[in-house]
Homo-oligomer: A and B are copies of this chain.
Amino acid sequence: MKNAAVLGASGYTGAEAVRLILGHPKLKLTALTAYSRAGEVYSDVFRNFAGQDLPALVTADEVNWDEIDVVFACLPHGASQETIAKIYNRVETVIDLSADFRLSDPELYADTYGRPHDFTELLSQRVYGLSEFARDLLKGAKLVACPGCYPTCTMLALLPGLAEGLIDPERLIVDAKSGVTGAGRKASLSFAYSETTDGAQAYAIGAHRHAPEMDQAMKDFAGVSAKVRFTPHLLPMNRGMIATCHVELSDGVSVDTLRAHYEDTYKSEPFVHVLAAGQVPQTRHVRGSNHCQIGVFADRTPGSAVIVSVIDNLTKGSSGQAIQNYNLTQGWDETLGLTGVGVFP
Contact = CB atoms under 8 A, between A and B. Distances in A.
* Stoichiometry, copies per complex: 4
Given A270-B51, A301-B229, A188 B187 contact: yes
Nearest to A282: B201
Contacts of A15: 344-345
Contacts of A240: 198-200
A185 B193 CA distance: 10
A300 B112 CA distance: 13
A253 to B, nearest CB: 16
Interface range on chain A: under 10, 10 to 19, 20 to 34, or 35 or more? 35 or more
Given A22-B339, A300-B229, A341-B22, A198 B51 contact: no
Given A191-B193, A193-B193, A270-B51, A202 B242 contact: yes
Given A173-B173, A299-B205, A46 B344 contact: yes
A288 interface: yes
A48 B344 contact: yes
Given A199-B282, A202-B242, A341-B22, A50 B231 contact: no
Interface stretch (A98-106, A141-149, A159-167, A289-297): A289-297
Nearest to A299: B206
Interface stretch (A63-71, A75-83, A89-97, A174-182): A174-182
A7 interface: no
A231 B211 contact: no
Nearest to A173: B246
Contact of A194 (B177, B231, B235, B238): B238
Nearest to A41: B276
A263 B12 CA distance: 29
A137 interface: no
Interface in A210-249: 211, 227-231, 233, 235-240, 242, 244, 246
Contacts of A291: 48, 50-51
Residue from the set A195, A286, A308 with the largest chain B CB neighbour count within 10 Å: A195
5 contacts: A46-B344, A48-B291, A187-B189, A235-B236, A238-B345
List of 9 A-B pairs having minimum Cβ-Cβ separation, nearest first: A199-B284, A48-B342, A175-B175, A201-B282, A194-B345, A48-B344, A205-B297, A47-B285, A48-B285
